[in-house]
Every structure is written in structure tokens, then in C-alpha cells.
């Protein structure tokens, strides 16, 4: 779809000890082994749509379901309109997709503004 926002790598799992990287377990790159690019937000989302945000079997698997469009989300950093609200299911082990999902909201031009009970407190450019 035109306007889709994809995810080709996941380098969010960097572990540091005394200022030095000691592990990046959980990181992955698309098109290596059986890993495929995920999709953060479809270009034309609709309620009920399900898709994978992370698709790296044995490393990271996240499936998202769009539950609301044009949502309004309030955070300490401000109020955001036209948010896409998702429930995200993470699979680490067999049948984990049956576990309760986590609420996540994306604001246009910003990105994730809320995940579960964590809310955006500040945003801007790095100087």
C-alpha cells in the first residue's frame, strides 16, 4: 500500500554494562534467515486490520490489530488527534498470541505516543 511505514531491523534490544555494549540479543535484520520486514502502520488503515509489526521467528514476533482510528490521546507532552490505536500481541513462545495484548497509539508525524500505561512526556529534535 502506498504510504505504509515498514520496519526492516530491530535494534531496540541493546544491553550495556559500564557504558559498553555487551549484547544485542533480540535484534534482527530483514531478509536474513527467515526474517521479513514488518509493518509499523499501514498507509490506509482500517479497524479490524491485522498484520505483523515484527516478523523474525525465534527472535521477535509482534502482531497488531487496529482497534480505533481518529483516536484522541492525552499525554504529558500534549494531546494528539487522529491517532491509530492498536492492540499488539507479542509471541516469544508457542501460543503467546493467546495472551492479552498491549495497547499502543501512533500519532501522525510523531510516532508512538502511548504504549500500555507509558505516555510520551517530551518530543522534538536532537540538537
Q: What are the sequence ranges of the domains in the chain?
A: 5-119
pLDDT over 90 percentage in the chain = 42
With 0.85 as the threshold, say if the pTM is over it: no
Percentage of the chain modeled with pLDDT above 70: 70
**Strand order through the sheet with 118-119:** 50-56, 60-75, 78-90, 102-107, 111-115, 118-119
C-alpha cell at 76: 504529558
Amino acid at each position: 500500500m502506498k504510504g505504509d511505514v515498514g520496519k526492516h531491523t530491530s535494534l531496540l534490544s541493546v544491553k550495556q554494562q559500564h557504558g559498553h555494549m555487551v549484547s544485542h540479543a533480540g535484534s534482527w535484520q530483514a531478509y536474513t534467515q527467515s526474517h521479513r520486514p514488518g509493518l509499523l502502520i499501514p498507509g490506509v488503515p482500517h479497524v479490524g486490520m491485522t498484520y505483523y509489526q515484527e516478523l523474525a521467528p525465534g527472535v521477535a514476533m509482534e502482531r497488531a490489530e487496529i482497534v480505533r482510528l481518529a483516536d484522541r490521546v492525552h499525554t504529558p507532552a500534549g494531546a494528539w488527534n487522529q491517532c491509530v490505536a492498536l492492540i499488539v500481541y507479542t509471541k516469544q513462545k508457542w501460543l503467546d498470541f493467546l495472551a492479552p495484548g498491549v495497547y499502543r497509539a501512533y500519532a501522525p508525524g510523531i510516532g508512538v505516543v502511548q504504549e500500555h500505561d507509558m505516555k510520551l512526556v517530551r518530543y522534538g529534535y536532537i540538537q
